[in-house]
Structure 1
Amino acid sequence: MEDVDMTGVGSEGTQKVQKGQTAPQNQKGDNVEKNEKVIDSDSDDDDPIVCSYDIYIKPRATADRQFVVMQFPNRDSSQPYNEKSESAPLAIRMKPKAGMFEMDVPVDPWHNYDRLKGVVMGDALNKSENLKGAGSHGLASGFSIGAQPASRGRQRTAANEELDPQPLIGNFENSVRNRKVLAKQTLGGQSVPKNGIRPQYMVGVFQGEQLHLTPVDHFVQMRPQFHHIDALAEAAARALPRAVVARPQEARAVHLTAKSSIDGEEENDETMADRIAAVQAEPWNSFRVVDENSDEAWASFYDTMFVGADTGLKSNEELRANIPKLKSVWSNAEYLEAIAPKRQTVKAKDKKLKGKEVAEEDDFDLSNLDDTDSE
């Protein structure tokens, strides 16, 4: 995608670092400077400011890109999905409206691998994908509830053919090369939509005496999806006699309603069937995978994560002179007035607890507070 110029927003800020700690650093990059300052041991302050940073905030990564943070709760951090660990992702896809993400990662078919089960599951998954076309399994496909994409006669015939696993096992190397064996695992998850209630997560990057923050568009936890099990269940259903599959069922009227249980959210009368139909109808958007340690990935990192990178601004002096500053719309007194409990409410509560009248309240005008610079 082509990058679009994005104006950053900066503000001077201070971050405290306790004694015995060093300033955070980037793990890679020649132009990332270290920022360590000597602490005065004779200082009388028991909590001195050791380091200070100018804080810069980007409205978003770029106008035509989204920032997605993926977590892998079932994967140890010492085994990342990259080329160095021989587990680079094979494909990544997304359903933007539903917030669904899927990622295919390789499985080693040569070590600690049951070849018979791998052939059977791989065959079932291939047949299921041929029938569904661009469909999927599990939550992203609505658990195969409702109408499914119609398949052609030739596809149905191929899907109903009985598998003979012995030839595939006998020439296992060729079977792996032709993708006749289950040699991938699918990870999936759903992002939490942003609104005015949930917090806005940001990713911070240190560079010298600067801290650059970039908002996160999607935050998703990726867990193993058992699509191969769903494919086996579909294969077993197709193998049943037609009379058994098509036997009439008792008609029942069912109305499923999905309501939010999160405080502050409006109730949603949208039925579960509507949600499933919307998820099934939305197509997948596929993305190109770039390894995290490649030169292209690091070039994108420096172009995307730092305010002023698109205009060549690097030093604090250049950024301060050209980047607009954040300004508070409240004074200190107005802020205290907004967050403090109402005095009449406090008085009524004290009356209820003590069972007697509260003494006359001293006059206290918040506007008399010293109004320091709020910018």
Structure 2
Amino acid sequence: MTDPAALDAEDKDPVVAEYDVYITPNSEEQQLYVLQYLNRPPDQPFTKATQSQPAELRLKKESGFVEVDIPIDIHHNYNRPAGVRWGESMRKTKGFGQTAFGIASGFERTMPRASNRPGAGEGAPVAAATADDDDNIEEYVAHFEDANEKGHVLNVQTFGGQILKDDGKGPSYMLGTFRHGRPLEGYQLHLTRLNGLVQLRTQFHHIDASAQLEAVSRRREKESQEGAKPAEPKAFLPTVKKSGGDTAAELNQAFMKSANQEQWNKLNYFDEDSQDAYTAYSERLFLPEVSDAPKLHSALTNTQFLDTMSARSNGKGGKNKAPKRTADELIEISDESDEEEETCGEPSLS
């Protein structure tokens, strides 16, 4: 007779679906990242349908910094005077060479050369006034639409983060996509390895720009009172630099310097409902021909698999290795169509 308890346990955990799983091949030319907007509700994605399609995406490949500019609705619930002041701060700081802010710039500030400094070349940027001191603020607010078109208004919100790459020590993430196969084949699950994750948070570059203009204003005021120091030749003594540079502080300083010197690469952004997005989705996230796909075999024997999965706690925060099981206790986990073999080589990811 069938055990009622066994039937009840089986009904509580039924098999509802089965899928054939395929792994797409790795490609050096394809870099796949997942952008996670941590303070954005999942039901409000940045898409064209929600009128918030990203206006620009920038990448510093070597240092791994990513920034995304999202348009702001400047016609509803928007503080126009503040938007003009912050927009002017961004415009002026970028005007004298500031290309990045915060950690993406290595926390470096590009300061303009004073026009009254001896030796300053012609065409050198002149120290700008702060946005609050600009006499044109009221005019920009009065002619808001025209000021926005000319770049005097902060009309984007910037999200930024750094790529968390797969270093081989932590988990390896994969992106799964489903596709219905040929008749009688059912659904297929295709897995593509991710090159990294990017957790994007709101960046306050307009605050950094305002603080930078205030520093420029303070320096300009100081030079107007004390006079700019003339550029004088300086003597230097050559020294031999000691070997090293591998301490945490030195490595961090070198990273900040390289991040500041690295230029942004601007990428084309396609909306999820665009034809380009669908084409890339079909070409890159599926194995083209599944009939020739090699089968994936386990590199562990049944005994090794069960010993790995059956580690149990010893009650002291550690784990004791479970005793090895006999052959009679082993559970067959290989596919019935595979050849009967206890151990195989490394998994093939073709």
TM over 0.5: yes
Which of 72, 95, 108 is the matching residue for 2:37?
Answer: 72
CA distance in 1, matches of 2:292, 2:210: 60
- In the TM superposition, residue 289 of structure 1 has moved relative to its aligned partner by 1.0
Q: Would you say 1:168 and 2:132 are equivalent positions?
A: no
Residue number in structure 2 paired with 1:159: 128
Q: Would you say 1:227 and 2:205 are equivalent positions?
A: yes
| Of 112-121 and 225-234, the range deviating more from structure 2 | 112-121
The alpha-carbon distance between structure 1 residues 78 and 337, as it changes in their structure 2 partners (threshold 3 A), is closer
| Of 267-276 and 46-55, the range deviating more from structure 2 | 267-276
Q: Would you say 1:206 and 2:178 are equivalent positions?
A: yes
CA distance in 2, matches of 1:235, 1:149: 9
- In the TM superposition, residue 337 of structure 1 has moved relative to its aligned partner by 5.2
The alpha-carbon distance between structure 1 residues 74 and 322, as it changes in their structure 2 partners (threshold 3 A), is same
Which of 295, 299, 302 is the matching residue for 2:275?
Answer: 295
**TM-score normalised by structure 1 residue count:** 0.67
Which of 100, 113, 120 is the matching residue for 2:85?
Answer: 120
The alpha-carbon distance between structure 1 residues 370 and 184, as it changes in their structure 2 partners (threshold 3 A), is closer
- In the TM superposition, residue 371 of structure 1 has moved relative to its aligned partner by 7.8
CA distance in 2, matches of 1:243, 1:180: 25
- In the TM superposition, residue 270 of structure 1 has moved relative to its aligned partner by 4.2
Residue number in structure 2 paired with 1:178: 150
Which of 66, 77, 92 is the matching residue for 1:101?
Answer: 66
Residue number in structure 2 paired with 1:52: 18
- In the TM superposition, residue 200 of structure 1 has moved relative to its aligned partner by 0.9
Q: Deviations over 1:180-231 (max 9, x none)?
A: 1111111101122212221111111112321111111121111110000000
Residue number in structure 2 paired with 1:188: 160
Letter in 2 for 1:240: R
Residue number in structure 2 paired with 1:91: 56
Letter in 2 for 1:138: G
CA distance in 2, matches of 1:282, 1:52: 48
CA distance in 1, matches of 2:179, 2:204: 42
Native 8 Å contact 2:73 2:155 kept in 1: yes
Native 8 Å contact 1:188 1:224 kept in 2: yes
Q: Would you say 1:136 and 2:114 are equivalent positions?
A: no
Native 8 Å contact 1:71 1:221 kept in 2: yes
- In the TM superposition, residue 163 of structure 1 has moved relative to its aligned partner by 1.8
Q: Would you say 1:218 and 2:218 are equivalent positions?
A: no
CA distance in 2, matches of 1:153, 1:111: 44
Q: Deviations over 1:257-314 (max 9, x none)?
A: x99xxxxxxx957443222112112221110011111122112111111111xxxx3x
The RMSD of aligned alpha carbons is: 3.4
Residue number in structure 2 paired with 1:28: none
Q: Would you say 1:305 and 2:285 are equivalent positions?
A: yes
CA distance in 1, matches of 2:258, 2:210: 25
The alpha-carbon distance between structure 1 residues 55 and 153, as it changes in their structure 2 partners (threshold 3 A), is farther
- In the TM superposition, residue 155 of structure 1 has moved relative to its aligned partner by 5.7
CA distance in 1, matches of 2:159, 2:324: 59
Native 8 Å contact 1:189 1:222 kept in 2: yes
Letter in 1 for 2:23: I
Which of 248, 253, 256 is the matching residue for 1:273?
Answer: 253
**TM-score normalised by structure 2 residue count:** 0.72
CA distance in 1, matches of 2:65, 2:103: 9
CA distance in 1, matches of 2:31, 2:295: 24
Letter in 1 for 2:17: C
Letter in 2 for 1:300: A
Q: Would you say 1:322 and 2:311 are equivalent positions?
A: no
Letter in 2 for 1:217: N
Aligned length: 287
The alpha-carbon distance between structure 1 residues 150 and 235, as it changes in their structure 2 partners (threshold 3 A), is closer
Letter in 1 for 2:125: R
Native 8 Å contact 1:336 1:366 kept in 2: no
Q: Which runs of 5+ in 1 are unaligned?
A: 1-41, 248-257, 260-266, 314-318, 351-362
Letter in 2 for 1:110: H
Letter in 2 for 1:54: D
Q: Deviations over 1:219-256 (max 9, x none)?
A: 11111100000000011111114474799xxxxxxxxx
Native 8 Å contact 1:106 1:183 kept in 2: yes
Letter in 2 for 1:51: A
Native 8 Å contact 1:337 1:366 kept in 2: no
Residue number in structure 2 paired with 1:358: none
Q: Which runs of 5+ in 2 are unaligned?
A: 1-6, 114-120, 181-186, 229-244, 317-322, 339-350
CA distance in 1, matches of 2:63, 2:42: 28
Letter in 2 for 1:194: D
CA distance in 2, matches of 1:226, 1:155: 28
The alpha-carbon distance between structure 1 residues 329 and 180, as it changes in their structure 2 partners (threshold 3 A), is same
CA distance in 1, matches of 2:14, 2:41: 37
The alpha-carbon distance between structure 1 residues 364 and 236, as it changes in their structure 2 partners (threshold 3 A), is closer
